[in-house]
Amino acid sequence: MNILLNTPLNAPAPTSSQAPTGAELVVSALRDQGVNMVFGYPGGAIMPLYDALPGSGLKHILVRHEQAAAFAADAYARVTGKAGVCFATSGPGATNLLTGIANAFMDSVPLVIITGQVPTQVMGTDAFQEIDIFGMSLPVVKHSFLVRNAKDIPKIMAQAFEIATSGRPGPVLIDLPKDIAQNRTENTNPVIQIDKPHSEPDPIAIALAESMLKRAKRPVLYIGGGVAKAGAVQALRRFNMLAGIPAVATLTGLGVLPSDNADFYGMLGMHGNKAANTLVQEADLLLVCGARFDDRATGKLDTFAPDAKVIHLDCDGAEIGKLRAANAGVQGDLKAALEKLAIGILDISTWRARARDLRTRHIFDYDAPGTGVFAPAFLEELSRRTGDRFVATCDVGQHQMWVAQHCHFSRPESHLTSGGLGAMGYGIPAGIGAKLAYPDDCVVTITGDGSIMMNIQELATIRRYGVGLKIVLFDNSTLGLVRQWQELFFEGNYSEIDLYDNPDFADVARAFGIEAFTVSRRDQTSAAIDRLLRTRGPILAHVRISPHENVWPLVPPGKSNAEMMEK
């Protein structure tokens, strides 16, 4: 892969007889934290930091919009397990990051965000491009720092990474005034090491959970995104290989158990698999691992799993009992909790047979009528043929739900999507971040004609760095999920969802220097996937689909998961 970098990969830090500037201390601290790639966009107040980048050894990826910097850093963090890093200048640069920061906060992704700020002597005077990003970001960060003295930078940077990656991960903002970044200090920039707290689960809670599991006749393992965040994927797989409990996952929990695992029954919730929702509704026990009873997963909460007791494992004690009372709440390290649950194979053969029967009766049908491309079949074939190297970065809409329902995932890093925030425009920047992190994987951005327009300028970033990202664009000339809801729940009153005037997206991609082609018939599907998989560089498949196709099944808003609508 041909990647254009601003500095050699292992370039030495610049040498100088002068004391380092605050910006140079930031760069040194990033290297001390093991950072080798950052995403950003320069401007006035952040310029001293960009002045310190050449020769630093850090790879800087110049995006074309600050929101894309945050989304790319988010995906980079999800696949590597390390904190993603992004830069932006003050004012609009910082505010353009906010959606990406909120996205990371909602999905518990570790980010360290560094924003430039106007010089301290003019702060509070409504100076050019001054904005209180410290205050504006408070609801969507784990912590914020406003740097007042360059000598504090090594400690602040170390604390920022520790906070971002420990416990329940999340974004941390560092607001760096321009004069602080320019000031020189005698500080020698020592490496600051902070011991991360390790919260052992309560043995009494573990014993209670074991007792409940042994008595259960219809248990369900309910997997959330917190399992991967806790590094507990292998621990959960080992646990369930022994216990053999039928399992379901939230949108962000997909891939923790491979899609073809015999105990896995798919995603639960609003657009979940009917077998998964039925199992949860009939369960007498839910073993909830790293999930938060999100409304899209539970439907009408007071009707969710009405006969089930709850064992809730989570590192964040605030989530335990927040929405559903837990009969056994196990707070602490999720990996340790799963390893301490001494459970062998459970005597639930009748329940397993019931689960297998539900899977057989509610299998998805890919033999749709007509000659047009059927998106679920396209995605199922694409992910199956790609195998374990498949990584999907998804935008938001009907295609997002089709990916969750029909793609095969072998690991949680294979499925990157904006879960809690539901941010359109995530897909392409996330694809850039994921492909740069895992260049040997087959990273595919799956987007829609509405979503792609949110950050389409990042095609320029793909071209500049030779990022071998594959893009599958489903074009139905409408805001599909909004149209579906207007059809079903607003008496067909279609309001502002018609995208009839879309450009020819293949032409747009080619204008950016990216290979592209168009598919409109079902008999072109296999050849289109062949072309996607054999192309080494970036490529866009413009896939035209029917504007009338809906996502099924569907739990209507305000209804129980037992009341799924089907086609």
On the question of pLDDT at 360 being above 60, the answer is yes
Using the structure block, give the residue that is written with the tokens 């392409």: 428
pLDDT in tens, 368-396: 888 999 999 999 999 999 999 999 999 99
Q: What is the pLDDT of residue 2?
A: 38
Q: What is the pLDDT of residue 341?
A: 92
pLDDT in tens, 451-489: 999 999 999 999 999 999 999 999 999 999 999 999 999
Neighbours of 411 (CB within 10 A): 17
- In this structure, are residues 561 and 281 in contact, taking their beta carbons and an 8 Å threshold? yes
Average pLDDT over residues 495-516: 97
Task: For residue 290, list its beta bridge partners.
Answer: none
Average pLDDT over residues 326-345: 92
pLDDT band at residue 345 under the 50/70/90 scheme: confident
Q: What CATH class is the domain 203-361?
A: alpha beta
Q: What is the pLDDT of residue 195?
A: 62
Q: What does the alpha-carbon distance between residue 306 and residue 285 come to, in Å, rounded to a whole number?
A: 10
On the question of pLDDT at 1 being above 80, the answer is no
Percent above pLDDT 70 for the chain: 95
Closest among 30, 47, 97 to 68, alpha carbons compared: 97
pLDDT in tens, 294-305: 999 999 999 999
Domain boundaries, the chain: 22-182, 203-361, 375-544
Residues 278, 281, 283, 284: what is their CA dihedral angle, to the nearest 10 degrees? -160
Closest among 30, 4, 223, 221 to 113, alpha carbons compared: 30
Residues 141, 143, 147, 152: what is their CA dihedral angle, to the nearest 10 degrees? -140
Q: What share of the chain is helix, strand, coil (3-state, %, to 5)?
A: 40, 15, 45
Q: What CATH class is the domain 375-544?
A: alpha beta
- In this structure, are residues 312 and 305 in contact, taking their beta carbons and an 8 Å threshold? no
Q: What does the alpha-carbon distance between residue 116 and residue 175 come to, in Å, rounded to a whole number?
A: 6
pLDDT band at residue 16 under the 50/70/90 scheme: low
Domain 22-182 has CATH 3.40.50.970: yes
On the question of pLDDT at 188 being above 70, the answer is no
